[in-house]
Chains A and B, each alone.
Chain A
Amino acid sequence: MGDSNRADEFIPAALASLGVEADEIELAVIGAAHAMFWPPILELYAFDTSAATPEPRPDLSQPPAAR
């Protein structure tokens, strides 16, 4: 199954499960956004962040405590 087919199924199903309605134009926008965001999101899942010391509540005004 191609990516676009998966998106054709995922988007209406996900919206329906949330109870969110979308018209044709909104669906087109959502489809375009999904095509743009989803591949990098999948890459993000595979991205190795194990070198980072967790910062559960970072103080963004300061450098991290850990280097």
Chain B
Amino acid sequence: MTLLDRPLRDQAATIAAGEADAGELLEATLARIEERNQALNAVVETFPERSREMLAAAPRGPLHGVPIVIKDEWPLPWRAQRFGAAEMLAPSAPGESGPYRALRDAGAVVVGVGNMHELGSGSTGNVSFYGPASNPWNLERCPGGSSSGPASAVAARLVAGAVGADGVGSIRYPAAYCGLTGLKPTFGRSAMAGHHMADYSTMIVSGPLCADAADARLLGSVLCGEELAAGEARGLRIGVVRDLVSEDVAPDVRAACESAIATLAETSGGELVEIELPDLDASALAGVLIANTEGMNGISPEKLNNLNPELSPLGRGLLKYRMLLPAAATVKAAQVRALMRQRVAALFDRVDLIAWPSVPAVAPPLEAPLVELPSGVTTADQANVRGGALANLTGIPAISLPVGLSEGLPIGLQLQAAWGRDALLLDAAEALERANGREWVEALPPLAAAESAEA
């Protein structure tokens, strides 16, 4: 196995020990992107000279010499973010974003910019100014969104780690669709400076997308500027909800998640606790309303009448619809937020984790992102937000980790913990990986597996 195919932590450790040349890893990564990205469209831009300069100046930090992809949501010193859109309706200019600084100071090398769902407004990744990214497990399927490119890039082993952003599930959905471990840190914990909504979003955080929890811990610690220290996941009290979020789920997904939850409880010497968390639909709507209205900062009718014609018709229509959302509904959404925060806080007195599927069905087709659930066929966006919005609405950390395959496509389990217990999520994910013999974190999509076997 080449160094490029090894975990992020192995890349860092091997370079730190002087057993591999970081320059060779960078060139191999650029060659891998060149070779595989045509089919994926995961990486929308590379800048080899900038990356080489970054490596030449890289300090001996925890990610010294390790190539990383960053989502098209933050500026770089040499490139303004585009937010996956022909026009992002907010000022953007090249600059040092918080995630960029965190990566640079850790010695990492930004090797490319990851594709994303246009304006961050979808859970599938099937709409983008650059054209959609593909899911490496099946190129005709959605990679998830909005961090579509970062997830696709890591799943196809273009890089071992990528930085995403999560405003309403946007790290966890693509992690689930692509078979990765994706962490949405506690609100405010990870680097966000330089994001065009950093000063007024109450929903968005940066976070890592990696193959497994140990890598997510390493990259997540860099983004959080503090160690997400490893501990033992012992005696976990895992809260399970008997509700649409866990029951209106495709049968294979439900079975794999229930099995994983039971395994985690058993392996940690813990227990399953049936809990009630009503009104998740209202919670999801509240999250969507808050995210959509916060995203309207600085938008005027005049701007809407002069949209770049290269914005997708869907994007143009949704932007204009946001203007019609009533302020009273947003006020009500804030009240729902308060209610759900209090309910969730009370639950975390009784349980350590709340678990349910990250998404209720595996990655849908790019052409028609619909999913079939026991309740019927619905859009993936409508289905996904049910379980994805709570963590953003309340501020708690959440993680998606792979727990199986169905139709050759990954299944993701979501774990949520109390504020500040991000490390516990990683501990639990690692415990489950061990219990499963690392079967799902080491599973490779066909595109990556064939060449890995040859290497």
A13 nearest CB across to chain B (Å): 10
B266-290: CB near A (< 8 Å → 1, else 0) gives: 0000000000000101100110110
- Give the residues from 7 to 22 in chain A that come closer than 8 angstroms, CB to CB, to chain B: 11, 14-15, 18-22
Q: What is the bound-complex CA distance between A54 and B335, given in angstroms?
A: 7
For this complex, 6 residue pairs linking A to B, each with C-beta atoms less than 8 Å apart, are A15-B324, A18-B324, A20-B320, A33-B317, A61-B419, A67-B342
Of all chain B residues, the one with the shortest Cβ separation from A45 is B332
B313: chain A residues at CB < 8 Å are 25-26, 29
Number of contacting residues on B, CB 8 A?
48
Q: Which stretch (B109-117, B144-152, B182-190) binds chain A?
A: B182-190
B419 and A63 contact, CB distance less than 8 A: yes
By a beta-carbon cutoff of 8 Å, the part of chain B in contact with chain A is: 186-189, 202, 279, 281-282, 285-286, 288-289, 301-302, 304-305, 313-314, 316-318, 320-321, 323-326, 328-329, 332-339, 341-342, 345-346, 348, 382, 394-395, 418-420
Number of contacting residues on A, CB 8 A?
39
By a beta-carbon cutoff of 8 Å, the part of chain A in contact with chain B is: 11, 14-15, 18-22, 25-30, 33-34, 36-37, 40-41, 43-45, 47, 49, 51-55, 58-64, 66-67
Asked whether A52 and B338 contact (CB < 8 A) given A18-B301, A29-B313, the answer is yes
B342 and A54 contact, CB distance less than 8 A: no
A63 and B345 contact, CB distance less than 8 A: yes
Of all chain A residues, the one with the shortest Cβ separation from B304 is A20
Asked whether A55 and B337 contact (CB < 8 A) given A40-B285, A41-B326, the answer is yes
> Which one of A45, A49, A55, A62 has the highest number of Cβ atoms from chain B below 10 Å of its Cβ?
A49
Q: What's the count of A-B pairs with C-beta under 8 Å? A: 127
**Cβ 8 A contact of B342, one of A18, A25, A62, A66:** A66
A30 and B321 contact, CB distance less than 8 A: yes
A66: chain B residues at CB < 8 Å are 342
B321 and A60 contact, CB distance less than 8 A: no
Of all chain B residues, the one with the shortest Cβ separation from A30 is B321
A43: chain B residues at CB < 8 Å are 282
A61 and B314 contact, CB distance less than 8 A: no
**Cβ 8 A contact of B317, one of A22, A41, A67:** A22
Of all chain A residues, the one with the shortest Cβ separation from B336 is A49
Asked whether A30 and B320 contact (CB < 8 A) given A45-B329, A60-B188, A66-B342, the answer is yes
B329: chain A residues at CB < 8 Å are 41, 44-45
Q: What is the bound-complex CA distance between A29 and B74, given in angstroms?
A: 28
B303 nearest CB across to chain A (Å): 10
A54 and B338 contact, CB distance less than 8 A: yes
